[in-house]
Amino acid sequence: MLPETKERLRKTRLRQLAHKANIVFTSAKQKIFLNSKAKRKTLLAGRAFGKTYILLVCIGYIAKMLPRAKFFLAGRTFKQILDIVLTDSADAWNSMGWYEYHEKVNPFGNYVLFKEPPPDWPRPFKAPKSYERCITFDSGFCVQLLSFEKPDSNRGHNFDGGFVDESALFKSDWVQKILMATLYRANTWRFKDSPLHNSFYDFTSNPWTQEGQWVFNTEELQKKDPEKYFFLEGTAYDNPTLHPQYVKNLEETLAPLVFRVEVLNERLAKLPNCYYPSFEEHKHCTADTFSYNQNEDGLWLPTFSDYEVNKPLEISMDFNNYICSSIICQEGNKILKVINNIYVKQAKEKKTLSQTLAIAIHDHYADHVKKDIILYGDASGDSNSAGSNDTFFTQVVDELRGLGWKVKLRVLKFNPQHKDRFSLIDRILAESTTNLPRVRLNQNTCKALIISIQNSPIRSDMKKNKSAEGTSMQQEYATHLSDCFDYILYYKYSSMKPQTSLIREIRWL
């Protein structure tokens, strides 16, 4: 027998021994999900239930049961998937007998990340053209990572099944027209006796926005066909491995609304009468905000692609005694990019809340090259804040100037008629005219702003209903950030030239 053959057999025996060491602990609720033979499953659970762990266990199990199959793992961004796969995968898969392969460090490993597997490993029946975004096991099973920063790039694939992480962040069309279309096209005759083939599982917490409500479809379909569809809900209380004080500590540290939605897994009620009727998350929000490069070790390094370090930051602010809020924007070609939202609720020692907000913005953009800020806000920002003889804007400008920024202040002298403000913003969002810009929000950084917009009610007189401000509701999800959104849109686009009767402008400071 040739030496190469002997070595290959030795490695194979070691891998087989490793596969036998697969003691996997799961909770009773997790077992229910794993034991269901439905091809279409949804796990809707709060923090600390173990959604990511079960997702990885499913991958490790199917890698053994469907050798040479190819599944996808989809996330809204590639960064989101990297954070999950690289952070938690080793622990989950090691308990199942899967160990990462390294030619020198661990030549007896049995899965590889983001590179072509060793030549003696079997390949998937429908092998990917490139392995740079794949995880491959020595059973020939492969998981290809898909992100929806550029949705159309995911069309045309052939998969034997798939997983979606944080599916409430996805748009229904992405799932139905792109992901589901990749199934039932490959290897049906090879895996016809397996209930795992063409399986599709999604894992998520409760949706914060209306765009994510589609995740409840599986719950309705289960009522009609429980053999094909399975829907399971869970909370941290279903995880017996947690410290007894874990949930109590979360309740004490999180705002009540966040605790109820993200820990207790309660569903948000749908807002019937929104102040922004033309706002559509699938149109005005984008997840395509990262670019990726691999370092020498093959690890992917994400950076923001919608942020330009050599252009001024346009910042709109809203001031209150319990929260000071801001949104960060930059102009593109006929587009206003909302790249971030920053807010503070507690003042630094010897600083006011508005000064603390200025410091938070500086800290976040300390490496910005062009240290120019254009600052927007409404007339109330020119009033004095509690504990200071200076106005809110004066405090912010002085603080930023002391940190090395030049600031151009653009403030409404008095607020416009509510009907005018509502009509202009609705026209911009409706995108029915070419002389107004398109507005695009970064979905990955502007969660609070998006929720604020979608949860801003309108009154019968066309005023925004601000009854949630100052209540027990998480204040970044109240109407403060949406007000920041209004200020900058009205100032910039209410006319082609500034209206001196409404606008006061200060030169660069």
498, pLDDT greater than 50: no
Tell me what pLDDT residue 499 has: 40
pTM tops 0.75: no
Structure tokens at 371: 């240290």
486, pLDDT greater than 80: yes
In a domain, 20, yes or no: no
Same domain assignment for residues 286 and 172: no
Same domain assignment for residues 161 and 308: no
346, pLDDT greater than 60: yes
Range of the domain at 115: 27-239
pLDDT, greater one: 432 or 497: 432
For residue 129, give every residue at least 6 positions away whose Cβ sits within 8 Å of its Cβ, in sequence order, or none. Answer: none
pLDDT tens track for 104-126: 888 889 999 999 999 999 999 98
Same domain assignment for residues 222 and 320: no
Query: Which CATH number belongs to the domain containing residue 170 in this structure?
Result: 3.40.50.300
261, pLDDT greater than 50: yes
pLDDT tens track for 266-279: 887 545 578 888 88
Taken in order 146, 150, 151, 157, the sign of the CA dihedral is: negative
Taken in order 148, 149, 154, 155, the sign of the CA dihedral is: positive
Overall residue count recorded for the chain in this entry: 509
What does the pLDDT average to over 182-207? 83
CB 452 within 8 A of CB 479: yes
Q: Residue 503 — pLDDT band, cuts 50, 70, 90?
A: very low
508, pLDDT greater than 60: no
pLDDT tens track for 430-445: 897 788 999 999 988 9
pLDDT tens track for 366-389: 999 999 999 999 877 666 655 567
Supply φ then ψ for residue 50, to 5 degrees: 110, 35
Number of domains in the chain: 2
Tell me what pLDDT residue 386 has: 54
pLDDT tens track for 11-68: 555 555 445 445 678 899 999 999 999 999 999 999 889 999 999 999 999 999 999 9
Give the residue from 239, 259, 293 where a domain finishes: 239
In a domain, 258, yes or no: no
Beta-strand relationship, 70-75 and 324-332: unpaired
CB atoms within 10 A of CB 294: 12
In a domain, 17, yes or no: no
Give the residue from 210, 239, 268 where a domain finishes: 239
Q: Residue 500 — pLDDT band, cuts 50, 70, 90?
A: very low
Strands (E) in 131-185, as ranges, are 134-137, 142-147, 161-165
In a domain, 293, yes or no: yes
**Residue 155 Cα distances to 136, 158, 166, 184, 288, angstroms:** 21, 9, 20, 14, 16
pLDDT, greater one: 183 or 353: 353
Task: Give the whole-angstrom CA distance, residue 401 versus residue 318.
Answer: 19
- Give the HSE-up count for residue 181: Cα atoms under 13 Å, Cβ half-sphere: 13
Task: Give the whole-angstrom CA distance, residue 345 versus residue 477.
Answer: 13
pLDDT, greater one: 428 or 292: 428
Residue indicated by tokens 């099944």: 161
Tell me what pLDDT residue 496 has: 39
**CA-closest candidate to residue 68, choices 5, 6, 125, 1:** 125
pLDDT > 90: percent of the chain: 45
What does the pLDDT average to over 325-344? 94
pLDDT tens track for 449-481: 998 998 888 876 678 888 878 776 678 888 899
3-state DSSP call for residue 384? strand
For residue 178, give every residue at least 6 positions away whose Cβ sits within 8 Å of its Cβ, in sequence order, or none. Answer: 148, 151, 152, 154, 155
Tell me what pLDDT residue 3 has: 53
pLDDT tens track for 295-312: 777 777 787 888 999 999
CB 455 within 8 A of CB 468: yes
Task: Give the whole-angstrom CA distance, residue 164 versus residue 482.
Answer: 30
Give the residue from 184, 213, 239 where a domain finishes: 239
145, pLDDT greater than 50: yes
Same domain assignment for residues 336 and 233: no
